């Protein structure tokens, strides 16, 4: 069964430095390695889904610069429909400055959104056909929130389109956007920031998920990093899905690998629980390699999980 996805959101170039530890304020460290890569939460999720076999269209905006042209070429190389990849003539392409701890694989990220923040609701409406013919529409919060809201409004103008919101980076979410969201996927830190509640233990994570449900979202998935994920669906009992224990090389993009693979699996007809279990396993594979999209497995590398 073909999975048809549309991503409305961000595209960045990642500038990644590996360091002995995440630097403290005012501290200068000498890193062990530097690399660039393609990123942006939206782009990452789209590429992950495409690598598994989904038909993916992206609605995104780039700067008219080297980073923008190379990002467009990367989308095409991944087999992604670039009909709605737009360019801003004045703003630079978005970038992410990433420090990765050599010892733990954990990271710290600063995003300069650039052209991502010039995407408009009017431009989203021009992509209505791609949005309304998708099975799943994925959005994040790395573009103006009114853009994400318009994408979900357009999606809900057609029958059967499922909306997934990855509320990252965490920000105040309008009530209308929550009402248009079918599945909300924050990580444990974002869930805590959104609700003001602790998320250190599973009971605390569950309580935060229930609070998010009270805001109008039926299904909440909270990703828990190396621990796995928690499913809270309607009034059903919360379900914890553990992740395989591995020694992470680089956790950058693991959450996006989860969202992209989950969207693909769900659109393929798998159940909610099954999709989460397999997405956790695919995301775990991604932390065993360095980089963001470069760490995402191809379909044949995870064939036994599909």
Which of 105-122 are b and which e, b meaning 16 or more Cβ less than 10 Å from the residue's Cβ? bbbeeebebbbbbbbeee
- Is position 256 annotated as part of the catalytic site? yes
Cα–Cα dist 152/180, whole Å: 6
* Residues 6 or more apart whose Cβ sits within 8 Å of residue 295: 250, 252, 253, 257, 286, 287, 288, 289
DSSP-derived pairing of the beta strands 228-233 and 219-223: antiparallel
Four-point Cα dihedral 273, 274, 277, 278, nearest 10: -150
Residue with tokens 């004045």: 90
Closest C-alpha among 216, 15, 215 to residue 96: 15
Catalytic annotation, pick one of 182, 256, 274, 300 = 256
Cα–Cα dist 15/27, whole Å: 19
Cα–Cα dist 185/286, whole Å: 18
Give the torsion sign (CA, 103, 109, 115, 120): positive
How many C-beta atoms lie closer than 10 Å to residue 189's C-beta? 15
- What are the residue numbers of the active site? 256
């Amino acid at each position: 069964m073909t999975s048809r996805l549309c991503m409305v959101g961000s595209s960045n170039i990642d500038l990644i430095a590996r360091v002995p530890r995440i630097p403290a304020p005012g501290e200068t460290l000498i890193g062990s390695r530097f690399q660039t890569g393609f990123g942006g939460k939206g782009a990452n999720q789209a590429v992950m889904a495409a690598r598994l076999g989904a038909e993916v269209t992206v609605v995104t905006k780039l700067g008219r610069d080297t980073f923008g042209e190379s990002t467009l070429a990367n989308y095409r190389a991944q087999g992604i429909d670039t009909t709605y990849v737009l360019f801003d003539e004045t703003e630079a392409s978005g970038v992410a400055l990433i420090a990765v701890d050599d010892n733990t694989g954990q990271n710290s990220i600063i995003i300069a959104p650039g052209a991502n923040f010039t995407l408009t609701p009017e431009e989203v409406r021009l992509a209505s056909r791609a949005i309304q013919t998708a099975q799943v529409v994925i959005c994040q919060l790395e573009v103006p929130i009114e853009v994400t809201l318009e994408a979900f409004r357009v999606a809900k103008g057609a029958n059967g389109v499922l909306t997934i919101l990855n509320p990252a980076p965490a920000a105040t979410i309008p009530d209308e956007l929550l009402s248009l969201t079918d599945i909300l996927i924050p990580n444990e830190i974002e869930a805590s920031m959104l609700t003001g509640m602790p998320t250190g233990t599973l009971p605390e994570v569950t309580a935060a998920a229930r609070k998010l449900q009270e805001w109008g979202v039926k299904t909440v998935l909270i990703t828990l990093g190396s621990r796995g994920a928690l499913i809270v669906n309607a009034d059903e009992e919360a379900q914890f899905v553990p992740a395989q224990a591995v020694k992470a090389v680089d956790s950058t993009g693991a959450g996006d690998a989860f969202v992209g693979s989950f969207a693909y699996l769900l659109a393929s007809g798998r159940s909610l629980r099954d999709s989460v279990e397999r997405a956790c396993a695919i995301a775990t594979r991604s932390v065993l390699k360095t980089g963001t999209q470069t760490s995402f497995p191809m379909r044949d590398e995870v064939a036994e999980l599909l």
